[in-house]
Amino acid sequence: MQCIPITAETNAWLLVRGRRSLLIDCPCTDMAARLRDAGLPAPDAILHTQVQEEHCREWGDLAGVPVHVAADAVEVARRSDAFFADCRTQWPLDRRWDPEDRGMDRYGIGGAMTERPPARPLNVAGVLNPGQAFEWEGLRLEVIPLPGSGRRAIGLWCAEERILFSGDLLHAGGFLANFYDLERGYGIVRGHHELEASLRRAQGLSPERVQPATGPEILDFNADAGRLLDALGRLLAPTVYSPGRRPAHERIARPRFGLFQRHGDGLYQNWNYGAMIVLIDREGRGCCFDPDICVWHTWEENLRQMHEQLDLLERHAGLRRLEKAFITHLHGDHMEYAPLLRERYGTEILATGDVAEGLEHPRDYPYQCLLHWFNFPFDHFAVDRRLRYEDPEPWHDTVIRPFHAPGHCFAHAAFLFEWNGMRIACTGDTLQHDGGPVSYQLPLIYSDAGAGPRGYLPTYDRLLAEKPDLVLGAHSQWFDAADGAVVRDLRAAAVEWEERARALTPDGNLDRALTPPGFDPARARLLARASCR
């Protein structure tokens, strides 16, 4: 048997016996022409290690050839109506949020599609089930489950030749094909652990040759797999900074009423994992950040509880009217009650242009946990005014300044202001710390978070330069920041994670490894449409 590589953006492997051939993966639309020009036989069938657009381009000039894919990938390969219907998810009304899967859908995360279907339907003629084998011309290819770089990934094992067709299990040298195909849920490492198990499963085969879908042939699989396993272990066990030095908040009492805790005169924050922060001046005039108390009942009960909390702010804190509300980012759990505030108080709703664009046109962007996924009675929202980063926004005697705060997602603002002689930063979800030791937060890749300009470092560097006295994050997170120690530790953890993650990329390009196809143009489109108006 001949095993002939055909390389384009990714790899195909042509198995030839006599004048017959079998193709594994197909990265180009002109494959038939390439084979003809090389004097090679057209394939009897095409087998796919994973169904992703860059590996599935036979629709060009091999559209009639029978295709075999993993059973769980059939609807993806066919681009069926059922597949696209299953991609259009919403958060169930029981508000289930299992810590083991956190928003994991069949084909995505929190409404974001993580599959990359072929550009046109494939001619699916059969399925490849783990534990079974595909037989052709006396050759037996066993189907091996190899989830990791994609949850439906398989390998094809030819015991006779001791060859493993490994898909994107790993890249030669012991590297990842990318990070984004490891994503399973919101901020969890389930895909990383699946990859570890798959690497060990493949090691157990003791292959002599490994033919990947991306990159050169793997010449020493056991060594490369061992290197990748070691590097993944280091990545998933980050250094913990200052263990035991940070005080837990149970030791710092804050007066409470309802779902709010009081940080000082006229400064209130949810204590119940809600996102809302409220300022109230001596005249009873208020403004807030992220108007969402994050209670999850029926919609009617949610509204009742929000009105109840506003009543308590009026009764206990002297609130007369919330005049402005600022939204930090485009996830739906940070603006749920903006329409209620507008109706009750005539509140002006404000967001930076990028955040406002994502709220107004969420279906135009490929990100997770956008407004239409939250299953509210409304699926988009237009703010009253779009802000520019760095432009001061006056509110009576207070000046509120938005700055770009990536890390949790790219379209994310933080807000700086002075209150009662304190410099305060409201950081949304990008900086959440609540006492105790510091370690790294994983980037939410399908929120367009990453490394470098899309990572946490720009936010940490800005806070170190601004030197706030108090940082108020979303979801009841806060810490005294005057000495800068927490932010310095967070920065050190982020630097360390980026260095360890970069070591897993074959070319050192961490940004590319963290950026799903299509996200660069989506970001450019969002920024082009984000102008103030």
247 found inside a domain = no
pLDDT (0 to 100) of residue 249: 46
**309 and 439 inside one domain:** yes
C-alpha closest to that of 415 among 398, 434, 440: 398
- How many angstroms separate the CA atoms of 98 and 274, rounded? 18
Summary mean pLDDT of the chain: 96
Q: Indicate the SS3 state at residue 39.
A: coil
**315 and 170 inside one domain:** no
List all residues 6 or more positions away from 275 whose beta carbon is below 8 Å from its beta carbon: 290, 292, 293, 294, 333, 334, 428, 474, 475
82 found inside a domain = yes
Q: What is the pLDDT of residues 296-351, one digit of tens each?
A: 999 999 999 999 999 999 999 999 999 999 999 999 999 999 999 999 999 999 99
120 found inside a domain = yes
251 found inside a domain = no
**492 and 347 inside one domain:** yes
**339 and 210 inside one domain:** no
Q: Indicate the SS3 state at residue 416.
A: strand
C-alpha closest to that of 367 among 445, 442, 443, 447: 447
Question: Burial, 127: exposed, middle or buried (Cβ in 10 Å; 0-12, 13-18, 19+)?
Answer: middle
State mean pLDDT over 455-481: 96
| pLDDT higher than 70, residue 250 | no
How many distinct structural domains can be found in the chain? Answer: 2
527 found inside a domain = yes
| pLDDT higher than 50, residue 533 | no
Contact 474, 290 (CB under 8 A): yes
**188 and 56 inside one domain:** yes
Out of 180, 205, 236, pick the residue that ends a domain: 236
Q: What is the pLDDT of residues 373-417, one digit of tens each?
A: 999 999 999 999 999 999 999 999 999 999 999 999 999 999 999
Residue 76 banded pLDDT, cuts 50, 70, 90: very high
Out of 184, 208, 236, pick the residue that ends a domain: 236
**212 and 341 inside one domain:** no
**204 and 332 inside one domain:** no
275 found inside a domain = yes
pLDDT (0 to 100) of residue 244: 52
**166 and 228 inside one domain:** yes
**403 and 461 inside one domain:** yes
341 found inside a domain = yes
What are the tokens at 58? 């036979």
Q: Which residues are bridge partners to 43 per DSSP?
A: 21
- How many angstroms separate the CA atoms of 533 and 531, rounded? 6
Out of 203, 236, 269, pick the residue that ends a domain: 236
List all residues 6 or more positions away from 152 whose beta carbon is below 8 Å from its beta carbon: 50, 51, 70, 72, 73, 76
Contact 322, 287 (CB under 8 A): yes
**117 and 225 inside one domain:** yes
C-alpha closest to that of 184 among 442, 381, 9, 7: 442
State mean pLDDT over 125-138: 97
- How many angstroms separate the CA atoms of 481 and 502, rounded? 30
Residue 382: Cβ within 10 Å count: 10
**268 and 322 inside one domain:** yes
pLDDT (0 to 100) of residue 47: 99
The string of DSSP letters for 186-241 reads TT--HHHHHHHHHHHHHHTT--SEEEESSSS-BS-HHHHHHHHHHHHHHHTSPPPB
Domain range for 179 is 2-89+107-236
245 found inside a domain = no
Q: Where are the alpha helices (DSSP H) in 290-345?
A: 299-317, 338-345
Angle CA(312)–CA(315)–CA(320) in degrees, nearest 5? Answer: 100
Buried b (16+ CB within 10 A) or exposed e, 162-199: ebbbbbbbbbbebbbbbbbbbbbbbbbbbbbbbbbebb
| pLDDT higher than 90, residue 437 | no
Q: Where are the alpha helices (DSSP H) in 16-164?
A: 31-37, 74-78, 81-87
Domain with residue 337: its CATH number is 3.60.15.10
**182 and 311 inside one domain:** no
